Amino acid sequence: MPRLALTAVVFATALLAGCDVVVGALGIESPEKVAAMREAEGKAIGGACRHAGRAIEDCYVLNKKAEKASVFAGWRDMNDYMRENKIEPVAPQVAATQVANAKAAAADAEPAKASDKPAAKAAEGGKPAKRDTAKAHDS
């Protein structure tokens, strides 16, 4: 019996030790790993934006899904590095009009969302839409 228990403990230990290998092979990532990857990606985006000579606001507009804090950290790190080593920015390949179009699209999307709310509320059974109160009179 002790031999069977020892075998079971060794087998269970081997299975538990391989959990990380199995989880990694299935493509399941831990939340910590995902957060670290998003932060690293944001820093890379920020550094690339600074190297291209883009303003941080343009970088935010062009990369809406990236975390702003990590983008700023990468931008700031690259800014310090470029100042220390006297590196000039590289002209971006994306035209400035595309940046302006992205900003305009972001600005247009917000007022559209706000204007949709009253119509949606009326459709849901809120206050009815205002009607003309003028009545036709028989002459």
Answer whether residue 103 is part of any domain: yes
Answer whether residue 79 is part of any domain: yes
Q: Are 71 and 56 in contact (CB under 8 A)?
A: yes
Highest mean pLDDT among 36-45, 83-92, 94-103: 36-45
pLDDT confidence of residue 2: 73
Answer whether residue 87 is part of any domain: yes
Answer whether residue 102 is part of any domain: yes
**What does the pLDDT average to over 1-12?**
72
Q: How confident is the model at residue 87 (pLDDT cuts 50, 70, 90)?
A: confident
Neighbours of 81 (CB within 10 A): 13
Phi and psi based region of residue 125 (left: phi greater than 0; alpha: psi -120 to 50; beta: remaining): left
Instruction: Name the pTM for this structure.
Output: 0.53
| Containing structural domain, residue 110 | 27-114
Amino acid identity for residue 43 in this structure? K
Answer whether residue 120 is part of any domain: no
Answer whether residue 130 is part of any domain: no
Whether the CA torsion 110, 126, 128, 125 is positive or negative: it is positive
Answer whether residue 135 is part of any domain: no
Q: What are the pLDDT digits (tens) for 92-139?
A: 776 666 666 776 776 776 665 555 555 444 444 555 555 555 555 554
Domain count, the chain: 1
